[in-house]
Amino acid sequence: MSRRGAAALLAAAILGAGALAGCGGGSSSPGTTSTAAKTTAAPPVAEPPPNAEEGTVFVSLGSAKGLGQVLVDSEGHTLYAFSGDSAKASTCEGACAKAWPPLLDESGEPQPSNGTSAAQLGTITRPDGTKQVTYAGHPLYTFGGDQQPGQANGNGKSGFGGTWSALKAGGAPAR
């Protein structure tokens, strides 16, 4: 093949690769934004390991709008800690537990996934006898106002005698 033919073939291959990369739906180039991607794309949900037993409760890291990486449950919903709790007891019962459902695990063996620490996971026994998952000593809850994975509508809310905070990987409140 001539030099000119090889150069033309190389140029065609480069152009073809560029066209394919543009069709992949990946990130926009710097300085541009994709409105459709921002409004319709849900944050990725942390997937449990492929060998996970059905019914196993996982605590993972996932993305929450405006907070970055926070603790999430198996469905990708943000997990919260309540300032009114202690490491050994939940004070959220009745109407509080309806608005802020506790993360329960009847097996008493929650599992880490996607960047969380097994050493930080545990459970406490609630006043009704159920086992609630804890992380870094914080009993964990979801929030009824979070309708989709990636929402953190409860972060910083006050109610039921305390403040609710999404948690980072080390167990510190998200700001």
* pLDDT at site 125: 96
* pLDDT at site 137: 96
In a 3-state reduction of DSSP, which class is residue 7?
helix
Distance in angstroms (rounded) separating the CA atoms of residues 41 and 25: 11
Phi–psi pair at 20, nearest 5 degrees: -65, -40
C-alpha torsion 52→55→60→66, nearest 10: 140
What single DSSP character describes residue 45? P
103, with CB counted inside 10 A (0-12, 13-18, 19+), is: buried
Question: Which residues are within 8 A (CB) of 4 and not within 5 positions of it... i.e. 6 or more apart?
Answer: none
Q: Cβ(7)–Cβ(15) under 8 Å?
A: no
Q: For the chain, which ranges sit under pLDDT 50?
A: 1-46, 48, 51
Q: Cβ(136)–Cβ(171) under 8 Å?
A: yes
pTM of the model: 0.72
Structure tokens at 68: 């970055």
Structure tokens at 36: 């459709």
